[in-house]
Amino acid sequence: MINQVAFFIFITLFRINTFNFFILKDIKLLIAVSIVAIVWGTTFLGIRVAVETIPGWFVAGIRQFLAGIIMLIILLSKKELKWIGWKNLSYQLIFSSLMLIAANGLTTVAEENLSSSLAALISATSPILVFLGSIFIGLQKFSYRGLLGVLLCFGGVIFIFWDGIQELANPAYRTGIILLFCAITGWATGTIFTKKMNIQSKNISLNLFYQFIFAGIVQIIFALAFTENYNFENWSTKSISAMLYLAVFGSVITFFSFHYALTKISPIQVSILSYFNTIIAIILGWLILDEQISSKFIVATILIILGVFIINYKPEMFKTKRLKTD
């Protein structure tokens, strides 16, 4: 019954959130939004498989470094590789530190001790911190609608730990939870930083190259410094394949799809895809890794997604307009 409910929730969200995309009759756009919705939803599963035999910091570091090399090849082929200046570089390094090293890196390490579905669901609460932080520094005004969304999300978090609060006594589990909350704090801080500085990307591919390479180098240094046993002979083919998948699909291909979608539809409409990611991650964790989904976990999922939706809701999310097709 629980599994049927989970599947029903996914199908319902899929139909509602993709309706606007399908009526656009733009095949490239449909492919792009499908990649963003599905592939980013698989990254939590990919991470969980990768860290089965490869230490987390190595997974994160190699993923980002390989993504950076791919971006380098693309830039060289287009003859667009160039120096971006010290000011822009400082922005990219700050962004990379918060979003890639802290958020992505700590999430990867956390999944050494947590299920992919739990990591996905807790990560989905990051808009709460963005909302609260934006109010604190004056980027956003307080609203009762936002407060309702925050309360719903907190209610979801309570349901997550309703029956499993005793698991926090397990040092490995507790460390994973702490790292995960540090990760979403890094993501939220990076988001607020971008909004505060009003950073406009003239060449996103170039900026991303610097971000990926910097994050990859730092995370590999962390891996060598903080990993006690990184015997490469123990790395399984399955884990290595998952790590390569994360680099090629989870980072590069999805990134290009995301920005192609932004050229066709509004950022607000693209943001709807984030609700897919959580649902897909949870369902894949259940289907492939046999992770348990309790009734309370489903309630938590509904509350958190609903809360985040209320926080981010804008009427133009569901407005349709005809766009030029290629």
Tell me how many domains the chain contains: 1
204: in domain: yes
- Residue 231's pLDDT is what? 86
Overall average pLDDT of the 30-38 stretch = 85
Q: Is 294 exposed, middle or buried (0-12, 13-18, 19+ CB in 10 A)?
A: middle
Nearest to 271 by CA among 33, 44, 45: 33
Domain membership flag for residue 95: yes
More confident residue, 14 or 120: 120
Closest CA to 114 of 291, 297, 237: 291
**Per-residue pLDDT tens digits for 252-273:** 998 888 877 777 776 656 666 6
Phi, psi (rounded to 5 degrees) for 26:
-115, 105
Q: Is the pLDDT of residue 23 over 50?
A: no
Q: What is the pTM of this model?
A: 0.85
20 lies in a domain? Answer: no
What is the per-residue pLDDT across 270-287, written as a single tens digit (0 to 9) for each?
666 677 888 899 999 999
pLDDT for residue 101: 97
Decide if 308 contacts 149 (C-beta within 8 A): yes
Residue 4 forms part of a structural domain: no
CB-neighbour burial class of residue 276 (10 A; exposed 0-12, middle 13-18, buried 19+): buried
Q: Residue 270's pLDDT is what? A: 65
Residue 279 maps to a domain: yes
Cβ–Cβ < 8 Å for 134, 191:
no
Q: What is the mean pLDDT of the chain?
A: 84
**Which of 31-35, 58-62, 269-273, 283-287 is predicted with the least confidence, judged by mean pLDDT?**
269-273
Nearest Cα to Cα of residue 183 among 117, 251, 102: 102
Residue 36 belongs to some domain of the structure: yes
Burial bucket for residue 177 (CB in 10 Å: 0-12, 13-18, 19+):
buried
| Rg, the chain, Cα only | 19
Asked whether residue 21 is assigned to any structural domain, the reply reads no
Q: Is 265 exposed, middle or buried, given 0-12, 13-18 or 19+ CB atoms closer than 10 A?
A: buried
Residue 143: domain span: 26-317
Tokens of 196: 């505060």
Q: Is residue 249 part of a domain?
A: yes
